[in-house]
Amino acid sequence: MLIDPAINMWADGPNGTLYAYEMCDACEQETFEIDGVTMSDFVYPSYFERFRAPHSAQFDYLKRISRPFEILPRGYALVREGSEIRHLFGSAEKSRAFAKEDRRWHRSEYRIGTHEAGTDAVDTAYADGARRTNFAVNIEGDDLVARNVVCTWFGGPNDHQDSGETASGVNTKENPNILGCSLPMDGFHHAATDGSPIPRLPWNTFVKVRNLANNREISVPLIDLGPSLFAPSGAAIDLTESAFRLIGGSTDRGKIQVDFVIPGAAQYRHAHAMAAEERLPERASHGMSHDMPKPPIKAFIRSPNVSSRNGTKIDMVVLHFTDGPSAQSAINTFRDPNAQVSAHYIIDKNGDIYQMVEDSDKAWHAKAANPRSIGIEHVALPGEHMAAAQEASSVALVRWLIATYDVSLENIKGHRFAPGNIGTTDCPDHLFGDATEAAVKQWVERQFA
């Protein structure tokens, strides 16, 4: 009650979800005693800090919680996704018990009622740009591709102000069975979509959308501009209601996770980039021009654990080992929004390079060094050195990063030796031979001096 007496505070959680700022809900049935009085466990402020890695801090009084926004089996959380508020439960048993409770006059019921009465005001608070949707759109062959992004639908619970009018002239209210989509495109001089990674595309460009929950796919024409990059839903694409239903979306919930492909659209990205460079030559300060090709990337697999660098210049490379047996295990961890950890690149033992975060974005791999650094993970178990093919790819990638971002050799660091990380980890262990800073420096000098 003292932490949030007005019952109106929300914390920015994983994947664009807002969590009610409640101190006990996530661990409410874990107890301890003070002078014979039974007390509920409670979370610390670190619980609501999504940038923290698992086991990196104490998240609750009894030390039962291991990561931000974790819900214990007998706990729950009230969350908001767009205009929808719902409960998350730590177990089916907790859900069943919760349904039997008399919730009248409870803080969560008051919070829900206050939100529903003031939805428009809450939505407007985000329109000032304080929270921006970030997602990656990558070139794969001739196509533009976005992976594991949020998809909503025209007029759904996350789009309650939809009038039916579209930028292409089609009215979806008058044509309820129409199949189509909208994308937030740059180049329209519209504050809601300027700066999007999607360039301006011709109307009726076809977009292939796949629902990640069931692998259903649909190809639909582009008929409108949006969603806003500042929408609370965090959506990167909207579908018409008919299209949303066809790939198995629940119109009540209003959002799904999808991949989408824009066939043949890489040409517009290239043209858009050239025009942007003509308008903004000062962007060279964030990446230098050179003739060195970037090493081949086997796949870009988007991690949700990413945030903005807020203009910080890249001037450091941090080297890690995965402490795991395979690239796939690291990929799975970095794709898990609850893991709250990511890196820009993963290099497998056979030399394959996977990218999971755009260089321009901040990955969550090295605490205080994150805003200024690129993180590279190497697949290895404790005690293992880099494999020969893996080392060759690592050298090629680091050399490209040095040339692109003018990184000094002194700023190529092993994880445990990066600023703000000393004494917090054993990484990169024996990746470079001895588990010492001197071994890392000797490797850097040998490869790049």
The per-residue pLDDT for range 100-124, each reduced to its tens digit, is 676 655 777 666 654 433 333 333 3
Tokens of 20: 């009610």
Q: Treating both helix axes as pointing N-terminal to C-terminal, what angle do 388-405 and 437-448 enclose, rounded to 10 degrees? A: 70
What is the CA 316 to chain-centroid distance, rounded? Answer: 22
Instruction: Give the start-to-end residue ranges of the domains of the chain.
Output: 10-125, 138-268, 288-448
pLDDT for position 107: 74
Cβ burial of 253 (10 Å; 0-12, 13-18, 19+) is: middle
pLDDT for position 383: 93
Range 288-448: architecture per CATH:
3-Layer(aba) Sandwich (3.40)
Whether the model clears a pTM of 0.85, i.e. scores above it, the answer is no
Contacts of 273 (CB under 8 A, 6+ apart): none
CATH H-level, domain 138-268: superfamily: RlpA-like domain (2.40.40.10)
Tokens of 271: 């043209």
Residue 367's alpha-carbon distances to 371, 423, 424, in angstroms, are 9, 12, 10
Tokens of 153: 């639908």
pLDDT for position 41: 94
Q: How far apart are CA 125 and CA 127, in angstroms?
A: 6
One-letter amino acid at 345 equals Y
Query: Within 240-324, where are the H helices?
Result: 241-246, 266-279
pLDDT for position 119: 35
Of 314, 371, 367, 360, which is closest to residue 340 (Cα–Cα)? 367
Q: Kindly tell me the sign of the dihedral angle through the C-alpha atoms of 257, 258, 259, 262.
A: negative
Tokens of 172: 């979806």
Is residue 46 a contact partner of residue 37, using CB atoms and an 8 Å limit? no
Is residue 397 a contact partner of residue 405, using CB atoms and an 8 Å limit? no
pLDDT for position 218: 93
Tokens of 237: 């694409």
pLDDT for position 423: 81
Residue ranges in the chain whose pLDDT is less than 70 = 1-6, 15, 81-84, 99-100, 102-105, 109-132, 158-163, 167-168, 189-191, 270-291
The DSSP annotation for 12-34 comes to E-GGG-EEE--SSGGGTT-EEEE
Residue with tokens 């402020």: 45
